[in-house]
Amino acid sequence: MYDIKALYEAESVENAVQLLTEHPEAVIIAGGSDVLIKMREGKLAGCELVSIYGLDELRGVTMEEDGTIRIRPLTSFSHITKNPIIQKYINVLGEAVDMVGGPQIRNIGTIGGNTCNGVTSADSASTLHAYDAIMEITGPYGVRTVPIHDFYISAGKVDLKHGELLTSILIKKESYENYYGHYIKYAMRNAMDIATTGCSANVKLSDDKKTIVSARIAYGVAAPVPIRAKSAEEFLNGKEATAENIAAFAKKALDDVNPRTSWRASKELRLQLIEELSKRAMTEAVRLAGGEI
């Protein structure tokens, strides 16, 4: 069924780095929901695999002393959705990954795999972008961190060098404290489908809940990689939380994106979706933050 040359099971992160260094053509496998499909399609025929699935040190969600939320890459989508830290501080991430596939996929699929495969349609990616996530990477030369905006290089390609693997996703306290977010996935089916377009917005309001202190919005399938609408964010920051301002913000977001035409949707449809989803996602984020529009 699967054309595998060799399978190596890592016993620790250090051992995984060693195996990846010793076998430069090897592919990391965790839950396998992406890798096994590629193998069955013949795209990875005769490959070597380094399994990190048994490394419990790469599972779970914790909070550091400084308030940083640490999400380890082998945490399944189901565990992220149900995790009390996620539910309390960045519930939108749990809601986003709860839209991945079906229950079986969410039980086996991991957030590390969802980001490291580099696809722009990944349901976790736009929310992690909107919360300025930082990727912690471990390799032969130690540990380095990369902002998620720089982690995605091009379609299907991320900043993982030879012998490296993702060991944590970090979200700083200043990136989530007093922010409220909402994610919308548009797809042709309600489940078991890849996003035609995804949109994740979050907002921090003033004490009187009338002014947008900080707005952030990110998209999947609006460019070759997940992307933030920076000029639209700058336009909205400091403005009153009104329907008119949010509508103008949504239109402004079209200047920041570059969707393509595919068999799922034309570029023109995706531009319509981006404008409408931006308006809806930001409006709901404002409502969750205590504002009224």
Look up the domain containing 102 and give its range. 63-174
Alpha carbons 184 and 177: distance in angstroms, whole number:
21
pLDDT in tens, 171-229: 999 999 999 999 999 998 887 888 999 999 999 999 999 999 999 999 999 999 999 99
pTM exceeds 0.85: yes
The angle that helices 267-288 and 243-252 make with each other, rounded to 10 degrees, is 140
DSSP for 112-131, written as a single string:
HHHHHT--TT-TTHHHHHHT
Alpha carbons 285 and 283: distance in angstroms, whole number:
5
Closest to 123 (Cα-Cα) out of 71, 196, 39, 52: 196
Same domain, 188 and 275: yes
Same domain, 157 and 69: yes
Same domain, 30 and 89: no
Q: Write down which residue in 174, 197, 218 finishes a domain.
A: 174
Same domain, 26 and 109: no
DSSP for 45-103, written as a single string:
TTEEEEE-TT-GGG--EEE-TTS-EEE-TT-BHHHHHH-HHHHHH-HHHHHHHTTSS-H
Instruction: Assign residue 258 the CATH number of its domain.
Output: 3.30.390.50
Confidence check: pLDDT of 1 > 70: no
Closest to 254 (Cα-Cα) out of 286, 281, 277, 224: 277
pLDDT in tens, 88-105: 999 999 999 999 988 888
Q: Which helix (H) or strand (E) holds 167?
A: strand 165-171
Same domain, 17 and 84: no
Same domain, 37 and 97: no
Instruction: Assign residue 21 the CATH number of its domain.
Output: 3.30.43.10
pLDDT in tens, 100-130: 988 888 999 999 999 999 999 999 999 999 9
Same domain, 254 and 224: yes
